[in-house]
Amino acid sequence: MGTRLIFFNGSVVAEEDVHISPFDHGFLYGDGIFEGIRAYNGRVFKLSEHISRLFASAKSLLLKIPYSPEELASAVIETVRANALKDAYIRLVVSRGEGDLGLDPLHCPNPTVIIIADSIQLFPESLYESGLALASSAIRRPAGDVLNPQIKSLNYLNSILAKIEASQRGVPEMVLLNQLGHVVEGTGDNIFIVREQVLITPPLSAGILPGITRAAVMELARGEGLEVREENFTLHDLYNADECFLTGTAAEVIPAISCDGRAIGMGKPGPIAKSVRTLFMHYAREQGAPVYSNLSWL
């Protein structure tokens, strides 16, 4: 594609015209929040849910977003439309903004707001057919009283360290545990296992981000008559599961076939993971806030 157009503090401008201060606390300290959002077939998927989660994160950080939820949702749609995209990955970022070299957020009067509409491929397409090999990480997710995982902040160093470990160990994704040894999630995705036709995913209390794709998958699975439980499980349970898959805005739904050299189930994508992926992709392409007034051409 040509020059990308970015929403930057109230205007849609060319990528090269976006200038962020070196004193922005998002850059200096990771003081800010973001949402990853998808557009499918000319519709922005779960836009209101993403905007609501962004504002919830902002409230916890006492970060005042200088737009209403409705204005921000319109800005997302405007950015996708300006780039003439039907299918897109959208990154909505709100940083604390320019301040001084101290930590005090009160010295940052004007938050920085950026919306990027582009594309993303978290995993090669072939892995959606063959399945992921996972490994458990030595990195632990911080406890909720250390850094609340429900705040989707710009501080992703915990996940980046685990991603470095994945690269060093030659696997595409890691499984992170909490301090109690319970499986929590991947570096940027929620996790499900299947045991005797029951879908099991860690509860919010385990220390996970409440994924929007996760919630959609749970709703779709229940609509198909599948039982879905939110309960803690360990690596032993993961090794001995019948199936496993990961969910996330960027990852969508992707099966996992092994962990730490142990085959999960038959060591290939299972029928429930395949079915859930098909259900989700169909649902995602039919739902969402329209970007264009006339979708008949899509």
CB of 115 closer than 8 Å to CB of 75: yes
Query: Do the beta carbons of residue 88 and residue 45 sit within 8 Å?
Result: no
> Which residue's entry shows tokens 């609501």?
52
Distance of CA 253 to the CA centre of its chain: 12
Dist CA 280 CA 183 (whole Å): 23
Q: Which residues are catalytic?
A: 152
Q: Nearest-CA neighbor of 156 among 187, 117, 116?
A: 187
Q: In 3D, which of 191, 276, 269 has the Cα closest to residue 233?
A: 191
- 3-state SS class at 255: strand
Q: Residue 126 contacts by C-beta under 8 Å, 6 or more apart in sequence?
A: none
Say which amino acid occupies 185: E
C-alpha distance across the termini of the chain, in Å:
19
Encoding tokens for residue 157?
Answer: 């160093």
